[in-house]
Amino acid sequence: MKKVSIIGAGHVGATAGLYLLEKRIADVVLVDIVEGMPQGKATDLSHAAPLRKYLNKIAGTNDYKDIAGSDVVVITAGLPRKPGMSRSDLLGINAKIVGGVAEQVKTYAPDAVVIVVTNPLDVMCHVVKEATGFPKNRVMGMAGVLDSTRFRLFIARELGVHLSDVVALVLGGHGDDMVPLPRYTSVSGIPITELLSPETIERLVARTRKGGGEIVGLLKEGSAFYAPASSITEMAEAIVLNIRRLLPASAYLEGEYGLNDVYVGVPAILGENGVEKVLELDLTDAERKALHASAGSVAANVAQWKEMKGKE
C-alpha cells in the first residue's frame, strides 16, 4: 500500500487525510508539533472507518521517524495569516517552520515526492527544494488546482451547466496576480470566450482571484481548508496511482515560459516521479506578461526570504 504523510494536522492537513482515506489509495500518517493532537485526530478517523468503509492504515504522531517510506509528503505546517500580520512576518515565520520540516523529510523520507501547501506556497517550494536538496521534479506546490476549481465553479453557476463539464486553467503564483486563462477554459470543449461576454469573464476572474480572501473574511480566523484539501487529494492521487494527470502545479522553471529559477503555477503532468513534465503553452503577449508579473512577485519574495536568512 502506498503511503502519504501529512505534516501539519490542522484544518487543511487533517481534512486532506480524511479525503485520502475515503479514496482508499494510501495509508495516511498525520504529523504535528502539538502533542496528542495528530494522535487524537487519527484515532477519531479510525473510528469512522466502519461507516466510511476505508481499510487503509491511519496514524498520528509527533515523531518524524513515522514518515519513513512515504511515497508522498504533504507540507501544511505553518501559520495562516492573521489580522495585523504583514506578508513578510508570515514569510519569515513559515519559512522557518517549513525549513525545519523539510530537514526532517530529507532525513526520514528521502525518496518522497513533496507537495507544498503552506503559504506563501511558491516561496515555500524554494525553501523545501533548498533544504531537502531534492530534484526539481520531487518538490511542487499546490495552488493551481485550487484556483482552477474555484474558477470552474463560478463558470458552471453562471452558465447553469454541470460542474463536470467545465475545465479551467489558472496559472501563475498563488496570489492576487494569479493568471486565469479563459482561452484554455472550456465547457465540454467550447471555449468560454464563445459562451460568456468579456465583462462576465472578467467578473468571474476577479471572484477567482479573491476566492481565498473571501473565505478568510467570512471565517475571521484561519483560511479555506475543504477546497485546498480536495486539491491536495487530486494531486496526491495522481502521484501515488501514477495516472499522469495534467494539472496546474507550482513547478520549478528553468527556461520554460522564459522564466528561470522560480516556482510558479504551470500545467504539469503528475505521476510517480512527481512533476513528470512541464507543458509550455503558446501564450499571447498579455498572458505572458501576466505570468511574468506573477513570477516576479514570487521572485521578490524569494529574495526577501534569502535576505532575512542572511541576517540570521
Tell me if 11 contacts ligand APR by CB under 6 A.
Answer: yes
17 is an interface residue for ligand APR by CB under 6 A: no
CA distances from 69 to 1, 39, 73, 75 (A): 11, 19, 10, 16
Is position 141 an interface residue for ligand APR (rule: CB under 6 A)? no
47 an active-site residue? no
Residue numbers 65-104 binding ligand APR by CB under 6 A: 76-78, 80, 97, 100-101
DSSP string, 72-101: EEEE--SPPP-TT--HHHHHHHHHHHHHHH
Helix axes 121-132, 285-311, angle to 10 degrees: 60
Q: How far apart are CA 100 and CA 119, in angstroms?
A: 15
The owner of cell 494522535 is 39
- Length of the chain (residues): 312
Are 224 and 208 in contact, with CB atoms under 8 Å apart? no
State the residue number with the nearest CB to ligand APR.
10
DSSP 118: S
- Binding mask 29-68 vs ligand APR (x if CB under 6 A, - otherwise)? ---xxx----------------------------------
Residue 273: DSSP 8-state: T
Binding-site member from 13, 144, 172, 267 for ligand APR (CB under 6 A):
13
Beta carbon nearer to ligand APR, 60 or 271: 60
Give the x/- contact pattern for ligand APR in 228-267, rule: CB under 6 A.
x---------------------------------------
Residue 7 binds to ligand APR (criterion: CB under 6 A): yes
Please identify every residue annotated as catalytic: 174
Interacting residues with ligand APR (CB under 6 A): 7-13, 32-34, 76-78, 80, 97, 100-101, 117-119, 222-223, 225, 228
